[in-house]
A = this chain, B = another copy of it.
Amino acid sequence: MNVELLYHTPDPERAVATAARLCYAPVGASELMETLSEERIEKVLRTILTSGHFSTLEHASYTFAIDGVSRAMTHQLVRHRLASFNQQSQRYVTFKDEPDFIRPKSVEEAGAQEAFDEAAKAAFDAYAKLVELGVPAEDARYLLPNACETKIVVTMNIRELLHFFNVRCCSRAQWEIREVACKMLELVRPTAPLIFKQAGPGCVKGACPEGKMSCGEPWERVEL
């Protein structure tokens, strides 16, 4: 799996704080943008984060390039509707060579590595045979397994990112999308340390919102 932060709104904390302050400021936008002090930015952000008035967090967004992930994962990922996606198509790309297959760790742990690899290879061989027989790639791909590697570009604003981290960094999410979410969180943290300080599953802030601490692996609680 490879998750890369492709680009993002420059200086996101300053951007968000400016958007939040602008409506109440006696000075113009560009002056405010330049003169807002670090202390003021921190104070504004703390107010936003503790009051739950998250609309200002929509004014900064992040774009990620993700590859080496399965289509099982992307089928979950694209269910987040307040986001933008571009994904490698299995309709317009014909695989000449065997693509990578994402093999869950639990397969190894069960000693089923070989069975998995053989089945994946057999699926690709059947795909290749269909293509050879003249079946269009978009139809031959019906034999490709969920494990099949794909690539996707994702853009989310900070408000949606916080929601995404909330539900997908949680141990109740499947391991693959949880890994993606955690890597995304690692990448955005340094760009906006205060905003993302309490990012993660609900247990970071307090009680488990699903009412289940049964996971046995809550995140360490973080104070803002």
Contact = CB atoms under 8 A, between A and B. Distances in A.
Contacts of A192: none
Interface residues of A, number: 89
* Copies per complex of this chain: 4
B23 A72 contact: no
Given A7-B10, A135-B107, A63 B59 contact: yes
A175 B174 CA distance: 31
Contacts of A67: 28-29
Given A110-B133, A130-B107, A142-B72, A15 B22 contact: no
A111 interface: yes
A35 interface: no
Nearest to A212: B51
Interface in A47-67: 50-52, 55-56, 58-59, 61, 63, 65, 67
Given A75-B75, A90-B146, 13 more contacts: A6-B18, A19-B155, A22-B153, A23-B151, A59-B153, A72-B142, A74-B75, A107-B135, A107-B139, A111-B133, A112-B135, A119-B126, A143-B147
